[in-house]
A = this chain, B = another copy of it.
Amino acid sequence: MKILIVDDEKLLVKGIKFNLEQDGYETETAYDGEEALKIARDKSISLIILDLMLPGIDGLTVCQKIREFSSVPIIMLTAKTEDMDKILGLEYGADDYLTKPFNILELKARIKAILRRVTNQNAPGAKSTLSVGGIDLDYNLRRVKIGNKVIELTAKEFDLCDLFVSNPGKVYSRENLLDIVWGYDYPGDIRTVDVHVRRLREKIEPDAAAPTYILTKWGVGYYFKEN
C-alpha cells in the first residue's frame, strides 16, 4: 500500500509521512502539482492525499488530470469550506476530503475506510465481514454477530464498534473517539462517548457491568480486548 502525499507545506507532508509510515504504509511525497502528476503516472500508488492549494497547477486541476488516466482514491485537503459536493462529484472525482486543520487520526481513519471500500469491492450478494476475537462485523448490514447471536447496532454504535474491533488493544481517549467517529470538528459534549460505549456494551457484552470486550483504561479511555 503506497500513499502519495501532495502539499507545499513541507512540514505537514513530513508529519503525515511519519504517521503513515508508523502505520506500515509506504509513502511518496510531492510538493507541487507537476511532481504529483508525474509520480501518480509512473509509480504504483494506492491512494493520494492531495492539497487543494498548490503552487503552479492547483489541486483540483491535478485531481482532474489524474482522473483522466486513473481511478486511484484521492483525499483532498482543503483550507476553507469549498464546494465539496463539486469536488466529490464526477467532475473532479475525489473520494473524500478533510478541512484543514485536520486531525491525523481522522485522516488515518478515512484512509483506512477508503482502502477497505476499494479493496473489499464485493460482488453483489457477497458479504464483507471482519472477524476478530469472537466478534464478527458485517459491513453490509452493519451489525455484529457474537457466537451465533446476531446483534443489531445503530449507526454510531457500529462505527464505534468497528473502530475498536479493527484495532484491538489500542486505547482511545474520548477525544480520539470523538475525532474519529464523530469527526474531528465535532462540537458536542465529550460525555456522549461514554453513553455510546455504555449502550454498545449493553448490546454486545454478556454483562455490561463487567465488560469483556470494550474495556475501560481508567483515566485514559477505552479499548477492545480480544477474547
**Chain A interface (Cβ within 8 Å of chain B)?**
11-12, 15, 18-19, 22, 64-65, 67-71, 90-93, 101-106, 108-109, 124-125, 127, 140-142, 154-155, 166-171, 217-220, 223
Contact = CB atoms under 8 A, between A and B. Distances in A.
Contact of A171 (B90, B101, B142): B142
B170 A71 contact: no
A125 to B, nearest CB: 6
A64, A69, A106, A218 interface centre (most CB from chain B within 10 Å):
A69
Contact of A141 (B11, B15, B104, B169): B169
A90 to B, nearest CB: 5
Contacts of A108: 71
Given A15-B70, A71-B108, A140 B170 contact: yes
A91 B141 CA distance: 39
A38 to B, nearest CB: 14
Contacts of A155: 218-220
